[in-house]
Amino acid sequence: MAIKPPILQSGDTIGIVTLGSPLPASVINSRIETVRSLGFQVVLGDYVYAEDGFLAGTDQERASDLMNMFADDQVKMILPSRGGVGVAGILPYLDFTFIQNHPKILTGYSDITVLQNVLAQYANLITFQSLLLIDFTMNTPAYNYNQFFSATSVLSAQRQIQNPPGIPQISRVPGNVTGSIVGGNLTSFVGTLGTPYEIDTKGKILLLEETHEPINTVYRYLNHLKLAGKFQDCIGIVLGECTECPVAYGTSYEDLINDFLVPLGKPLMTNVTTAHGTYKAAIPIGATVNLDTVNNTLTVMEPVISLT
């Protein structure tokens, strides 16, 4: 059974880290003020402001920040500032046994989902595809905060993941399957294929989303996953948005869904609002979910946090 991290409560301390690409100090500081205004304490990693080209410090430095947060008893949740690129570089420097023995809430999306799935595989820890530090603004939709806190601060036996009103989740291939949900950003996972950190989809429900890639590139990445057996191994597919993904050669994201994913024959739900989109459903990576594309529901089937 997957390990459930302890619940996040008002007044708790949140540890801020930058695990991939850098973020300007002014942005980090303004977002921290929003976190504090919500009733939380904040501690910062040593390299949260680091800048080394397109990375926020060396792989070892970023990894040490993450491990220090898992080791700090006062920290109840770990919040990366952003994704970007480079998160996979920290993986060889992590102590998964230590993390397994010191479970904490970790949220994020984009390149952070590489880390989240590795934590599910190597530390058996449930994490959350949900908000990054950069999302903590006064203009963030209430839906996003409601999803975040429903996942991290409310103990519930089951929780249905629903889009905001007026934005339908679309079931494309009928079926009803239950299993662990894995996945996240498509580009990030293609980069792990052929490594010790390759995503494991066997018997699992696969979640995918993308941003700012032309549709021919999205096709290339999907086909790479197909050739690697990831669609054959999975039992169902949950597809998020492809935000700011331009049409290529007259082919749209909708065309790609119909021409590539529907013929796979796996239960398929699309248009789930999460990650890079404006609206961000909180999806617990590594938790057991039910995908019912007959009744068009996606339901978390177990508590994903613990009281201690």
How many other CB atoms are found less than 10 A from the CB of residue 294? 10
DSSP assignment, residue 163?
P
Pairing relation of β-strands 75-80 and 13-17? parallel
- For the record, the structure tokens of 91 come out as 């993986």
Among 207, 214, 218, 225, CA closest to 275: 207
Catalytic residue among 110, 171, 180, 188: 110
Distance CA 103, CA 10 (A): 19
> Taking a C-beta distance cutoff of 8 angstroms, is the pair 56, 21 a contact?
yes
Is position 209 annotated as part of the catalytic site? yes
Catalytic residue among 61, 102, 130, 209: 209
> Taking a C-beta distance cutoff of 8 angstroms, is the pair 237, 269 a contact?
yes
Numbers of helices and strands, H then E, in the chain: 9, 14
Catalytic residue among 61, 102, 213, 276: 276
Is position 102 annotated as part of the catalytic site? no
In the β-sheet with 159-160, what is the strand arrangement from edge to edge? 159-160, 297-300, 288-292, 176-185, 205-211, 236-243, 268-272, 170-173
- For the record, the structure tokens of 294 come out as 């007959």
Is position 21 annotated as part of the catalytic site? no
Residues belonging to the active site: 110, 209, 276
